[in-house]
Structure 1
Amino acid sequence: LPRELRDLIHDFYLRCDGCTYDHNSRKLHTAELEKIDLSLMYTCKQIATEMHGLPLQKNKVFFTTVYPKNLRSNAGKFAALLTRLHELKKSLLGRSQGFITSELMSEIQIQYPNLFPILDRIKTRGSCDNLTNETCGFPPSIHYDFVTECLRLLSKDPQFGPHITSTKWNSMGPRNTD
């Protein structure tokens, strides 16, 4: 058969109403929840070569954010763990007043100009956890990155490590001993 006719056959054979990713089986299936028929591709090497990649080119693939029920509790625990980690980081940043240098402030002002006022207030006002709860209207992920970067830069100071290890901790994080 001529190539043009074979291409029409391949198109007709592969076309469906789209494919959906099944999280439970970890496979693609048709919109009607049927297995995608690729048996024609296995008839000979020439057809397999001609059809390589066509199933995904000819059909839309839909992914959802739904995940298997058995992973939901783990996802919730992971989210809670990440939230707790960020709370601890924010609390630690709020108690790092003495280590915030002008060089660190300059670098943060370049990287996070809109979140810079938070660091400036920590430096000028001292330990103040509620200041680090502000996100200045930015997505939480940007705020997480800001806090992490501040702590990364603070950790370059050789005295910062001993400061952290000498800090008294309770179940809520570092606490003032003043």
Structure 2
Amino acid sequence: MAYGGAVPDPLDPIAEAHRQWSARWPEHADHMAAVTSVMRAQQLLLGKVEAALKPHGLTFAAYEALRLLAFTRTGTLPMGKVGTRLMVHPASVTNVIGRLEQRGLVERRPSPDDRRVVLAAITPAGRELAEEATAALHEAGFGLPDLTGDQAADITRALHAVRVSAGDVPGGSPA
């Protein structure tokens, strides 16, 4: 594997692991290769997405939070709902929203309906940055610039089956 600009090994490490697994545990070789491929693809894509967002001073987690708030009708969501929608732990939401708040991109305020609920609210500066960062991700093809729309949709469908199998979402077709 190539890290930090290192020359890639001409041997595909996942293919070699599959070969080794096939010799020892052939009934598990395809599953091992699938999970290892997904994990490696996640590393590669996160690196490309983070590189596209870096000039905007955003991590992917911060971008997702801004984009989520920008998508809402009012620009606000309860902190708990942010975590649910982003599928992250409440502590992670607090951390990301706190960093965005320090930059003036998000504000936290009590809900007018229930003062026990804290709302995250995108600011005009946050909305503007969300649009700029979205344009950068569009330009970068979300890290998949060489894939067609059909290929990207195929990946989404395949990973939906994984998510259903893991109990992350109910069965059925991806949206």
Query: What interval of TM-score do these two structures reach, taking the shorter chain for normalisation?
Result: under 0.3
Q: When you count helix as a share of all residues, which structure comes out higher?
A: 2
* Greater C-alpha Rg: 1
Q: TM-score, normalised by structure 1?
A: 0.23
Q: What's the TM-score once normalised by structure 2's chain length? A: 0.23
